Chain A
Amino acid sequence: DSGVTQTPKHLITATGQRVTLRCSPRSGDLSVYWYQQSLDQGLQFLIQYYNGEERAKGNILERFSAQQFPDLHSELNLSSLELGDSALYFCASSGGLGPEQYFGPGTRLTVT
């Protein structure tokens, strides 16, 4: 158990809908990262937050947004969902002596 929690574990929704994925980092970690993992794209970095502020941005679509709250949990919002958004979404956190990231179990999103 990495100490990073993600909810929900599974999510099935229809095209055009909006969903919110939630992540709680390890205790004391200030950085949260979001990744998308799909068969054709592999592991793609989406965005990083550090202590409530956006720190780095990757291949995140404009339909996607994220935020980190004062209690350091983070949410990833996906809107106007398309079939191609079906993937595993991982959250990771870091904040110790080095940049190693600790991953949550992921949320599997299925868009039908």
Chain B
Amino acid sequence: AQSVTQPDIHITVSEGASLELRCNYSYGATPYLFWYVQSPGQGLQLLLKYFSGDTLVQGIKGFEAEFKRSQSSFNLRKPSVHGSDAAEYFCAVGPEGYNTDKLSFGTGTRLQVFP
């Protein structure tokens, strides 16, 4: 069965510092991988996605992620964090099973940004 692990529950960084959020997945074939962001009281917003091709994908808000098959990882990065990036970040993998587009989500990483 597919699964996603986000090892870091909570990360704190200073504004302007670089950021890397970790995501490890378990999947039997070539996965579709996603990062979502959730601001307090809001829905989840799609940051970026990987389907195939170039393993470094660019997303919105200056985020990027790199797919590393050998490490089963899809880490999210940003070179310089803003205060507005404080939110919860979810990694997801899919599709799960036959005849469904169901995704499996990680438990999330809460990002706190200090000024």
Q: Give residues in A with beta carbon < 8 Å to B.
A: 2, 4, 31, 33, 42-43, 45, 48, 50, 55-56, 58, 90, 92, 94, 98-106
Partner of A56, one of B46, B90, B97, B105: B97
The size of the chain B interface, using a CB distance under 8 A, is 23
In whole angstroms, how far apart are the Cα atoms of A2 and B38 in the complex? 13
In whole angstroms, how far apart are the Cα atoms of A8 and B35 in the complex? 27
Specify the chain B residue showing the minimal Cβ separation from A90: B43
Which 5 A-B pairs rank lowest in CB-CB distance, beginning with the nearest?
A99-B101, A103-B43, A56-B100, A103-B44, A99-B95
B45 at the interface (CB under 8 A from A): yes
Q: Give residues in B with beta carbon < 8 Å to A.
A: 32, 34, 36, 42-46, 49, 51, 90, 94-97, 99-103, 105, 107-108
Specify the chain A residue showing the minimal Cβ separation from B101: A99
Do A100 and B46 form a contact, CB below 8 Å, given A42-B108, A43-B90? Answer: yes
Residues of B within 8 Å of A102, CB to CB, are 46
The CB with the most chain B CB atoms within 10 A, among A48, A58, A99, A103, is that of A99
